[in-house]
């Protein structure tokens, strides 16, 4: 979650109509954030490129979730699928802007799904990744009636 | 790096990790209390305990691909997965991949399609999907 930028709204995730602009969030690819991610995932840091330190692209896989969480109540949701097209590797210290919109909603197996298309760009104007995040809008464990 | 064999059917060396509670907490923003970090929140959501975030395991797949195809293959990679089974602290998760298609990209490299997945110690697929990976430098071996 981008530090200090959380502003959960009251509108529930499953109520969002297709076409809803999810707005945007921003975060810094800080040393602390990168270190935390590397430790969590046991990844080896990438080599430097042109004297620039690089952050693991797997950090970008959560951008759709952070965007949704920052803007809407996804407390009853779970992540069901993720597409990530990596175009550029983020640089440590850069600022990332994540924006997106709802592109599909469907029901399968009695569960409602919401699909968000997300773009992550850095402060140099580079598109880092395009993502498609699929979430179960309201998760109910089998047999559950939460 | 030894040049990988670019041929359909080839299986990649797996990447395996034991998922700890610390990993699950570190993967989330600092101070976050949710189904991935807190058993009580998870139980309130109908889960038996906190579960790891599914996208956490995309990192295992990225690492597996990078080890095999090199750092230069990262940009241009497309990973598309479905999250299937929950992972709990203490589970062992292993990323695996198998090349399904190899195409010459027209500029001396190749573009691979792989079936990729992460399985737990019971053989259940935690996440599963496909990866498309550009492999740069030199003609593809066994290109179709």
Task: Write the CB contacts of A79 (distance below 8 Å, at least 6 apart in sequence).
Answer: A65, A133, A134, A135, B53, B54, B55, B83
> Is residue A77 within 8 Å of A135, Cβ to Cβ?
yes
Min Cα–Cα distance to chain B from A81, Å: 4
Average pLDDT over residues B62-68: 96
Selected for mutation to probe chain B from A38, A53, A81, A135 (highest B CB count within 10 Å) is A81
B41–A contact, CB cutoff 8 A:
no
Residue B99 burial by CB count (10 A; 0-12/13-18/19+): exposed, middle or buried? buried
- Our measurement of the distance from residue B89's CA atom to the centroid of its chain's CA atoms, rounded to an integer in Å, reads 18
Contact state of A84 with B35 under an 8 Å Cβ cutoff: no
User: Which domains does chain A possess?
Assistant: 23-136 (3.10.129.10)
Min Cα–Cα distance to chain A from B81, Å: 5
Contact state of A83 with B80 under an 8 Å Cβ cutoff: yes
**Number of H-type helices and E-type strands within chain B:** 3, 5
Min Cα–Cα distance to chain B from A84, Å: 5
Task: Write the CB contacts of B50 (distance below 8 Å, at least 6 apart in sequence).
Answer: B21, B24, B35, B36, B37, B38, B39, B41, B42, B88, B89
**Chain B environment of A65 (Cβ under 8 Å):** 55
Phi first, then psi: what are they for B106, rounded to 5°? 85, -5
Average pLDDT over residues B98-106: 94
B56–A contact, CB cutoff 8 A:
yes
- Taking the C-alpha atoms of residue A112 and residue B46, their distance in angstroms, rounded to an integer, is 17
Q: Is B139 a residue whose pLDDT tops 60?
A: no
**Domain B15-135 falls in which CATH fold?**
Thiol Ester Dehydrase; Chain A (3.10.129)
CA dihedral B82, B86, B91, B92 (to 10 degrees): -10
Contact state of A84 with B58 under an 8 Å Cβ cutoff: yes
Contact state of B83 with A47 under an 8 Å Cβ cutoff: no
Ordered strands of the A21-28 beta sheet: A21-28, A95-108, A111-122, A127-136, A78-86, B78-83, B125-135, B110-119, B92-104, B15-18
Sketch the domain layout of chain B as residue ranges. 15-135
**pLDDT digits 0-9 by tens, A83-108:** 999 999 999 999 999 999 999 999 88
Contact state of B55 with A57 under an 8 Å Cβ cutoff: no
Segment among A50-64, B25-39, B53-67, B76-90 with least mean pLDDT: B25-39
The more confident residue out of B108 and B119 is B119
**Chain A environment of B63 (Cβ under 8 Å):** 41, 43-44
Identify the residue whose tokens are 């399609």. B113
Q: Secondary structure of chain A in the HEC alphabet?
A: CCCCCCCCCCCEHHHCCCCCEEEEEEEECCHHHHHHHHHHHCCCCCCCECCECECCHHHHHHHHHHHHHHHCECCCCEEEEEEEEECCCCECCCEEEEEEEEEEEEEECCEEEEEEEEEEEECCCCEEEEEEEEEECCCCCCCCCC
Amino acid A82: pLDDT: 97
Amino acid B123: pLDDT: 96
């Amino acid at each position: 979650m981008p530090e200090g930028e959380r502003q959960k709204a009251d509108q529930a995730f499953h109520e969002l109509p297709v076409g809803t602009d999810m707005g945007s969030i921003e975060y810094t690819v800080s040393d602390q954030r990168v270190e935390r991610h590397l430790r969590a995932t046991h990844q080896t840091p990438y080599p430097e490129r042109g004297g620039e330190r690089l952050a693991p692209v797997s950090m970008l896989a959560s951008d759709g979730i952070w965007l949704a969480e920052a803007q809407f109540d996804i407390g009853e949701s779970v992540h069901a699928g993720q597409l990530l097209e990596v175009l550029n590797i983020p640089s440590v210290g850069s600022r990332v802007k994540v924006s997106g919109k709802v592109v599909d909603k469907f029901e399968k197996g009695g569960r409602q799904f919401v699909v968000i298309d997300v773009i992550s760009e850095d402060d140099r104007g580079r598109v880092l990744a395009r993502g498609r995040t699929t979430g179960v809008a309201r998760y109910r464990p089998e047999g559950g009636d939460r | 790096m030894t040049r990988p064999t670019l041929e359909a059917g080839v299986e990649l060396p797996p990447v395996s990790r034991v998922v700890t509670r610390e990993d699950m907490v570190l993967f989330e923003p600092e101070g976050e209390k949710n189904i991935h970090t807190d058993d009580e929140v998870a139980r309130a959501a109908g889960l038996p305990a906190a579960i790891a975030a599914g996208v956490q395991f995309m990192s295992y797949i990225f690492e597996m691909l990078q080890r095999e195809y090199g750092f230069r293959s990262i940009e241009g990679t497309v990973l598309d997965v479905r999250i299937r089974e929950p992972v709990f602290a203490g589970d062992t998760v292993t990323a695996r991949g198998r090349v399904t298609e190899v195409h010459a990209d027209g500029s001396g490299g190749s573009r691979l399609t792989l079936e990729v997945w992460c399985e737990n110690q019971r053989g259940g697929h935690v996440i599963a999907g496909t990866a498309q990976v550009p492999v740069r430098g030199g003609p593809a071996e066994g290109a179709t």
